[in-house]
Amino acid sequence: MPDNPHAIHNLVGDALRESTDLASKEFALFRTEMAANVKSLFLGIAMLIGAAVFAVAAIIWLTQALVEWLGAILESEALAALIVGGALAAIAVGLGLYGRSAMSAATLTPERTVRSVRRDGEVLSERVSG
């Protein structure tokens, strides 16, 4: 009965409904994945801002330590300020590296959506040809 116009009309209608449902689900997946990627981007920005704050504090402490050290040559207060400044610098470097990795362009690619669309395209082409 493939020559029956009513059957062909039903098949076309079913295919259109399924395609619409599929497109709707793919768009929902895309929106969800992009929201997660944007959230990760903002986390990276926040980490970079945190790194900048710690870097400024480290520069202040290291500068103060250098001045005190030069002023008092071997005083323990200057050594303590150097230790604090070095620790703040290490924190700034760690936050900066983490923020940079979180903001890499690869994290913005909606990989699951792309895979799903490809898979759906393959299934649809199999149905049409098969």
81-118 pLDDT tens trace = 777 778 878 988 999 998 888 777 566 667 777 788 88
Is there a domain that residue 88 lies in? Answer: yes
- Tokens representing 125 are 């082409």
- What's this model's pTM, rounded to 2 decimal places? 0.40
Is there a domain that residue 30 lies in? Answer: yes
CA dihedral 82, 83, 86, 88 (to 10 degrees): -110
Is there a domain that residue 112 lies in? Answer: yes
38-83 pLDDT tens trace = 888 888 899 999 999 999 898 887 777 776 766 666 676 777 777 7
d(CA 108, CA 41): 8
Helices and strands (H and E) in the chain: how many? 3, 0
Is there a domain that residue 126 lies in? Answer: no
Quote the number of domains for the chain. 1
22: closest CA among 118, 108, 110? Answer: 118
Is there a domain that residue 54 lies in? Answer: yes
Is there a domain that residue 79 lies in? Answer: yes
C-alpha distances out from residue 44 to 6, 47, 100, 103, 104, Å: 57, 5, 6, 5, 9
- Could you tell me the residue range of the domain that residue 14 belongs to? 5-121
